[in-house]
Amino acid sequence: MINDKQTQENILKARTLTGIPPHQYLVPYRSVKHMLENRVQETPDKVYLIHYDADGNREEFTYGQFNARVNQIANFLVAHGVKRGSRVATMAHNHGDTVMIYFACWKIGAAVAPQNVSEDDPRIAYILRNSESVIALVRPEYLERAEAIVYGKDEGLGADNIREIVQVGGDPHPKYQQLYDELAAFSSEFTPEAEPSLDDECLLVYTSGTTGAPKGVVLMQYNMLVDALSISNWQGITGNQRMMCVLPIHHVNGTIVTLITPMFVGGSTVLNRAYSSHHFWERIAREKVHVVSVVPTLLQFSCEFADKQAAEGKSIFGDGVSKDDLRHFRHFICGAGTLAVALAKRFEDQMGFRILHGYGLSETTCYSCHLPIDLDWQTHQHWMQDYGYPSIGCPILANEMAIFDPTGSGQQLGSGERGEICIRGHNVMKYYFKRPDANEETFKFGWFRSGDEGFYEVDERGRQFFFITGRIKELINRGGVKFSPFDIEEVLLQIPGVKVGLAVAFENVYYGEEVGAYVVREADSAVTEEEILAYCRQHMTFEKSPKVVVFGTEVPVTTTGKYQRLKLKALFADWKETQFRK
């Protein structure tokens, strides 16, 4: 709830699209329930969901089967006190059960608060408390953790608002009710007490920032559906196509792109427990997948797998998979992390498939822009390679984008000028939950302020092509001159033997911040600090070049593949009082 009138007005402006207020809906459905039931009425026997578990076991559900199971789960949840407006927490991973729980909540008009199980226990406990979830549905792998988190007495633990932990799958546990032990007693028909609406809250996802308490992003059913409309429209996704999910569905990318969007158009999706280089292309071939949503990290893994296969004289797509087996495959959607020009070029050249690079945030439901699908190959490569950054493309149907002065003054900038990427439209979130301070600042002048630095260029048709140059908080401020880590990393990745190269701002008494490089070498590389520093100084000014190189083997990333540079700062503490000279 927003009590400040000015912030309310600013949020309404930020959720308005070219003068169209958010209550003038652009989608043909009244709710997620209405969408699913339309699919069941039209094509009950069509496969919607194919699920592969960690052991490679496959199961599939038609729209009719999926809906019947969703209805049973919805009835179970209602019997356990869940109602319209409730929040339901999950501690799970990619699984057919998890998807059905989501849809069951949305049929009721409840919101899902999916937990990222890779987070630490106190952080999950905070999110459970903050989300005001009333019940937690937990897979057996996480039951002991869930019990410690919900009922723990140590500092930071405990979530008294969780009335019940329910086990989902696995062998029965004597302490917990097992969802599937009870499900047979519930009807496969479901009638809610009150029909859910497009304005019902449906997702409460928490930002993955490295400092401060996580912020709860509140999304509504309309946010999901209008973003799915826009993604399918922009990507040319239709009901006769199949998508594949290899990203975690506790995050909006996995949920919106590869669960909601296929259902929106009446298509199907393949849900994997996680990404596997050995199974990735084989499943695309076997299941006749047309489009996959990935993050840059997975492109890197795919290239490394291809190199290994080629070195052994095997197909770069995996044993028994040829390029001809992939003739139905169209392209990759890629966003959520830093995509370097060098990696994009390597992948497209090596694998022979196009990357439709894009950009978005949880706060804008998922994607806000993509490269156009209609670009010829030469023009596509121009926007991917010729500006120092791969373009994130043009705004999609649901939103507008602009570049503003990063100080928050509200001054809009022009073509080629770097500033803060800002977004407004129907896919902008409802608000941050119980964070009036963040809402006031984020919606300060009637746009959603992303916190990302970028710019745009205009093509001959007048289309604005946007670029992201870095996270404003991660810009390196050396003596008042700011450098984007992305610029420096493009140079680092050109150095032979460098597998991962990250530019890190570290504290320095002489300039406030200095430039460091964190490098992971290729397996057979012996590249030295001296060689890296010399290469950088040949291609950048001394001021912009790294002054120190720290080598490592692990890179901190979020579950969606975003590099967490701020976590690397401590590695450069020894050089805080060093003055670096040319």
Using CA atoms, how far apart are residues 109 and 105, in angstroms rounded to an integer? 6
Q: Has residue 209 got a pLDDT over 60?
A: no
Using CA atoms, how far apart are residues 439 and 137, in angstroms rounded to an integer? 30
Q: Of 519, 499, 496, 497, which Cα lies nearest the Cα of 568?
A: 519
Q: Has residue 505 got a pLDDT over 70?
A: yes
pLDDT at 582: 82
* Ramachandran angles phi, psi of 526, nearest 5°: -125, 25
* Arithmetic mean of pLDDT, 540-552: 94
pLDDT at 482: 79
For 109-148, what is each residue's pLDDT tens digit? 999 999 999 888 998 999 999 999 999 999 999 999 999 9
Q: Has residue 394 got a pLDDT over 50?
A: yes
Q: Which residue has the higher pLDDT, 119 or 552?
A: 552
Q: Has residue 208 got a pLDDT over 70?
A: no
Residue 80 CB-density burial (10 A; 0-12 exposed, 13-18 middle, 19+ buried): middle
Using CA atoms, how far apart are residues 467 and 453, in angstroms rounded to an integer? 9
Strands 512-521 and 548-551: parallel
Structure tokens given for 117: 């199980």
**Beta strands per DSSP E along 309-391:** 331-334, 354-360, 367-370
pLDDT at 1: 64
What single string gives the DSSP state of each residue in 49-94? Answer: EEEE-TT--EEEEEHHHHHHHHHHHHHHHHHTT--TT-EEEEE--S
* Arithmetic mean of pLDDT, 437-460: 95
**Cβ atoms of residues 485 and 476 within 8 Å:** yes
Q: Has residue 534 got a pLDDT over 50?
A: yes
* Arithmetic mean of pLDDT, 290-304: 92
pTM over 0.75: yes
Q: Has residue 2 got a pLDDT over 80?
A: no
* Arithmetic mean of pLDDT, 231-245: 96
Using CA atoms, how far apart are residues 29 and 38, in angstroms rounded to an integer? 9
* Arithmetic mean of pLDDT, 333-346: 87
- Percent of the chain past pLDDT 90, that is, above it, reads 83
Residue 440 host element (H or E): helix 436-442
* Arithmetic mean of pLDDT, 531-550: 94
Radius of gyration in angstroms for the set of CA atoms belonging to the chain, rounded to a whole number: 24
Strands 135-138 and 164-167: parallel
Neighbours of 551 (CB within 10 A): 14
Using CA atoms, how far apart are residues 359 and 366, in angstroms rounded to an integer? 8
**Cβ atoms of residues 199 and 224 within 8 Å:** no
pLDDT band at 351 (very low <50, low <70, confident <90, very high): very high
**Strand partners for 355:** 332
Q: Has residue 548 got a pLDDT over 60?
A: yes
Lowest mean pLDDT among 9-13, 298-302, 470-474, 499-503: 470-474
**CA distances (Å), 534 to each of 187, 458, 547, 580, in order?**
70, 36, 10, 14
* Arithmetic mean of pLDDT, 280-303: 95
Q: Has residue 200 got a pLDDT over 50?
A: yes
Lowest mean pLDDT among 150-159, 287-296, 376-385, 506-515: 506-515
Amino acid at 448: F
Give the list of residues 6+ apart from residue 24 with CB closer than 8 angstroms, or none: none
Q: Has residue 337 got a pLDDT over 80?
A: no
**CA distances (Å), 299 to each of 296, 453, 491, 501, in order?**
5, 24, 19, 16
pLDDT at 212: 66
Ordered structural domains, the chain, with CATH: 62-197 (3.40.50.980), 242-472 (3.40.50.12780), 475-575 (3.30.300.30)
Give the list of residues 6+ apart from residue 148 with CB closer than 8 angstroms, or none: 121, 157
Residue 536 CB-density burial (10 A; 0-12 exposed, 13-18 middle, 19+ buried): buried
Using CA atoms, how far apart are residues 523 and 553, in angstroms rounded to an integer? 10
Q: Has residue 219 got a pLDDT over 50?
A: yes
Residue 12 host element (H or E): helix 5-14
Angle between helices 485-492 and 529-539 (to 10 degrees): 120
Using CA atoms, how far apart are residues 158 and 129, in angstroms rounded to an integer? 8
Lowest mean pLDDT among 50-59, 192-201, 328-337, 378-387: 328-337
Highest mean pLDDT among 127-136, 468-477, 540-549: 127-136
* Arithmetic mean of pLDDT, 81-104: 97
pLDDT at 172: 86
Chain mean pLDDT for the chain: 94
Q: Has residue 211 got a pLDDT over 60?
A: no
pLDDT at 562: 76
3-state secondary structure at position 206: strand
pLDDT band at 210 (very low <50, low <70, confident <90, very high): very low
pLDDT band at 187 (very low <50, low <70, confident <90, very high): very high
Q: How many helices, marked H, and strands, marked E, lie in the chain?
A: 17, 26
- Percent of the chain past pLDDT 70, that is, above it, reads 98
Helix/strand/coil (H, E, C) string of 452-481? EEEEEEECCCCCEEEEEEEEHHHCEEECCE
